[in-house]
Structure 1
Amino acid sequence: MAGAAGSEQTGSITSTSRVDEAADELYALPPSEFVAARARLVKAAADQDEAKAIGALRRPTQAAWAVNRLVHSGASLLVEALELGERLRDAQRQLHGSELRRLDRRRRELVTELTALAADQAGLTGEALTQVRNTVTAAMADADLAEQVRGGRLTKALEYSGFGPLSDGSPVPDDLSARREQRRERRLAEAREAVEEAGERVDGCRAEVKTAGAEHARLVRELDDVRAALRAAERAAQQAGRVLEKAQQRLESAQDARAAAEAAVEELRG
C-alpha cells in the first residue's frame, strides 16, 4: 500500500511546538549540517523529554533534503504538481480518458521541471536526482505521500507502489531480468540507507562520547580540588590541635600558679 510505504520512509514529528520548531529548522538544513545542529538543539532543550524527541529526528538523505528544500522555498511548481496530482486521481476515478491524457502530459512536464529545479537548488546528480523524480511522482500519485511531502520533513525518498495511470509513458517491465534489476536496485538503496543511518548513529555516539568526556574531565578536576582542600583542612586541623594542646598546658600552669598564690595569701592571713 502506497501510504504505508511512505510512512515508513518519513520522520514522524508529533511532539511539542518547540520540537516542531526544531524539526522545521533541521529539515531545512543540508544533511551535512544536520547532526551538529541537532546536537545543539538537544543541548538547548528545555527538559529531557524534549531533548529525547529532538534527538530522535533522523537526518534526511540528499534526495529527501532536496524535496524538503522545494517545500521550504515555496516552489510554485511543487504546489502545482501536488494539486495536479489530485486532479489526476479524480479523473482516474471518473474514467475521463481524454482528461487523463492531458493531465498526464502536464504531470510529466512538472516532474521534469521539478527535478531540474532540485538539481539547481541542491546540486544533485545521478541517483539522487532519480530519487527526487520518484518522490515527486509518488506524491502526485498518492494523497498520503503528497501530505508527507507538504510537511517538508522527509528523511528518505518516496516511491509509489500502487497502480494507476501515473506512469512515465514507458512500458512497465515484466520480464524476469527487469524484475531482478528492480529487486537489486531496492536492495542497493536499502543498503545505502543502512550505511547512512549507521553513519548518523556513529556521529551521534561521537557527540555523546565528547560530551561525556568533557563532563568526566570536569568532575575529575572538581574531585582533585576537593581532595586538595581536604588535605589542607587536615593540616590546619592538626596545627590547631597542637595550638590547643599548648594552650591547655599554659592554662594548667596558670591555674597551678593561682592556687599556690591563693595558698600563700591564706597562710599570711592565718
Structure 2
Amino acid sequence: MARKHGRTDAASDVEDVLDELYTTPPPDFVARRNELAAAAKTSGQVEEARLIQAARRPTLAAWAANLLLRSQPEESGRFLELGRALREAYRTLDAEGIKELSEQRRSIVSALSRQAAELARAAGHRLSDAARQDLESTLRAVLADQDAAGHWATGRLENALTPPSAFPSGTAPAGGTPHKPRRRAAAPSSGTPAKNDLADRRRRKRQEELAQARKAAKEAERHLRDQRTEQAGADAALRRARHRHDRARERETAAEQQLQQAREELQRADREQQEAEDRLRTAADALARAEQAARATADEVERLAGSDG
C-alpha cells in the first residue's frame, strides 16, 4: 500500500483498503488482510496496519451483502431509499396498505438476494441454502431497521443482520401491542372544523406517503427486472465467450500438437539427410579409392606387357 503524505490521505488509504478487504471472498480474507497489514506496516503506517489487522472475516452471507453494495451502488442506494420510504409509510398505513407493501417488500428482497447470490457465484462461491436465508434476513433487516441500514451502508458487514420481529408500524403502548391506525369514520358525527381539517391533513399525508412508498417499491421492482434481464444477457454472452474460448483452446492444442509432430518429422528428416550425406561421402571416397586402384592395376598390366615385348 503506497504511503501518502498527511493524516487525511493515510485515513483515506486505510478506508479504501478495508472496502477492498470486505469484498474479498471469505476463504481469501485472512491471507489478504495479513498481506495488506504487512504492506502498511512496512510503509511506516503502524496505526493503519493495526486497523487492517483488526478486521474480522465476514460470513459468506455478509460478504455477499457487502459485494452487492459495492458492485451495485446505484441499486443499493435505491434499496436504502426504499427502506426509508417503507419505514415512514408503515407508521401511518392501515392493514390493507401494509399488506400491499409487505408483498412488494418480499418480492424485492427475494429478487435482490438472487442478484447477490449471482454475484457471489460469479466470484467463485455458491451460497448454501442457509447462507441464502441469512442474506435475505440481512436485506429484510436493512428495510425494516434504520440502524441495520446504516450498518449495511458501510459495506463492512461481518455477520448477517437479523430483522425485527415485526416491521416498524408506529408507536407501541406500554403493553407492547403495536399501535393500530384508526379506521376512517363514515361521517364525523361531531367535531370542530379545525379538528376535521387536521384529520383531513393527516389522511392526505398518509395517502401521499402510501403513494410514495408504492412508487418507490414499483421502481425498485422495475429496476430489478431490468437488472435480471441485463444479467441474463451477460450470462448468455459469458457462456458464448467461454464456448468460443474452449473451441479456440482446442484448436490451439491441436495446432500445437501438429507443430510438435512437424518438428519431430523435420528432426527425423534432418537425421536421415545427414545419414544419407554421410553414406554418399563414404561411397564417393570408396569409389575414388577403387578408381585409383583400377588405374594403378591398369598401369601395371601395361608395364608388364611392354616388358614381355
CA contact (8 A) 1:43 1:51 kept: yes
Partner of 1:39: 34
CA contact (8 A) 2:137 2:161 kept: yes
Partner of 2:68: 70
CA contact (8 A) 1:119 1:125 kept: no
Partner of 1:114: 112
Partner of 1:27: 22
CA contact (8 A) 1:138 1:145 kept: yes
The structural deviation recorded for 1:132 is 0.1
The structural deviation recorded for 1:88 is 1.6
Matched letter for residue 136 of structure 2: R
User: For 1:12-69, what per-residue CA distance to the aligned partner results, in whole angstroms no more than 9, with x for missing partners?
Assistant: xxx9222211101101111111111111111111332221111001111100000001
User: For 1:73-116, what per-residue CA distance to the aligned partner results, in whole angstroms no more than 9, with x for missing partners?
Assistant: 11655433322221221112223444323322211101111121
Mapping of residues 177-188 of structure 1, within 5 Å: none
Query: 1:134 & 1:126 partners in 2: Cα distance?
Result: 12
Matched letter for residue 154 of structure 2: G
Partner of 2:13: 18
Query: 2:11 & 2:73 partners in 1: Cα distance?
Result: 27
CA contact (8 A) 1:84 1:103 kept: no
Point out the structure with max Rg over C-alpha.
Answer: 2
CA contact (8 A) 2:91 2:168 kept: no
Pick the aligned partner of 1:127 from 130, 139, 146. 130
Matched letter for residue 53 of structure 1: L
Name the TM-score, length of structure 2 as normaliser. 0.46
Taking a change above 3 Å as real, the CA distance of residues 79 and 106 of structure 1, as seen in their structure-2 partners, is farther
Matched letter for residue 125 of structure 1: S
The structural deviation recorded for 1:128 is 0.4
Partner of 2:58: 60
The gaps in structure 1 that reach 5 residues or longer are 1-14, 167-270
Taking a change above 3 Å as real, the CA distance of residues 71 and 109 of structure 1, as seen in their structure-2 partners, is same
CA contact (8 A) 2:144 2:164 kept: no
Structure 1 range deviating more: 47-56 or 60-69: 47-56
Query: 2:11 & 2:135 partners in 1: Cα distance?
Result: 30
Query: 1:68 & 1:85 partners in 2: Cα distance?
Result: 17
Partner of 2:147: 144
SS at match of 1:32: helix
Q: CA RMSD in A?
A: 2.0
Taking a change above 3 Å as real, the CA distance of residues 129 and 75 of structure 1, as seen in their structure-2 partners, is farther
User: For 1:185-220, what per-residue CA distance to the aligned partner results, in whole angstroms no more than 9, with x for missing partners?
Assistant: xxxxxxxxxxxxxxxxxxxxxxxxxxxxxxxxxxxx
The gaps in structure 2 that reach 5 residues or longer are 1-9, 121-125, 170-309
The structural deviation recorded for 1:118 is 2.0
Equivalenced residue count is 152
Query: 1:62 & 1:164 partners in 2: Cα distance?
Result: 25
Q: Alignment identity in percent?
A: 40
Q: Which stretches of structure 1, 4 residues or more, deviate above 4 A after TM superposition?
A: none
